[in-house]
Structures are given as structure tokens and as C-alpha cells.
Amino acid sequence: MALTRPPGHHATKQKSNGFCIFNFAAAAALHAMSSSSLHHHHPNLKVSILDWDVHYGQGVADIIVDFPNARY
């Protein structure tokens, strides 16, 4: 589990957006899925990102769109 503030959920692959420069939520999810020790022991590891906010974080969706084991 990672609790981050700010999550950076508006920053996309290509640009910062909505005062978000880095997308910490997506970076943490991708790191968890690509970590060699986790991936070795759990090859079907799935990650869920719960963004507790009142609006859509398009940056997270943009970054994890190509990763079927990640859900937003």
C-alpha cells in the first residue's frame, strides 16, 4: 500500500497538468508490478489504484492504459 499526497493524478506520460508535475500514483503502481523480487514470486501480480478525489485523474489512466494488470 502506498499513501501519497499529492498523487499527481493529472500528470500524463508527456506533460504536467493541473498543478501535477509527477504522477506518483502511476509510478508506484508500475514500480510494484515491475519489481524483480515481487514479479519473480508473484508473476500475475495485479495492482489497483484508488484515487480518493472528487474528479477524474486522467493522467493515471493515460499511463496505465497499456498494463492489463493495473486498474484505476
Determine the pLDDT at residue 65: 93
pTM for the whole structure: 0.78
Rounded percentage of the chain residues whose pLDDT exceeds 70: 90
Catalytic residue list contains 10: yes
Query: Read out DSSP for the chain?
Result: ----SS--TT--SS--BTTBSS-HHHHHHHHHHH-HHHHHH-TT--EE----SSS--HHHHHHHTT-TTEE-
The model's confidence at residue 31, banded by pLDDT at 50, 70 and 90, is: confident
List the catalytic residue out of 10, 39, 42, 55: 10
Q: Is the pLDDT of residue 57 over 70?
A: yes
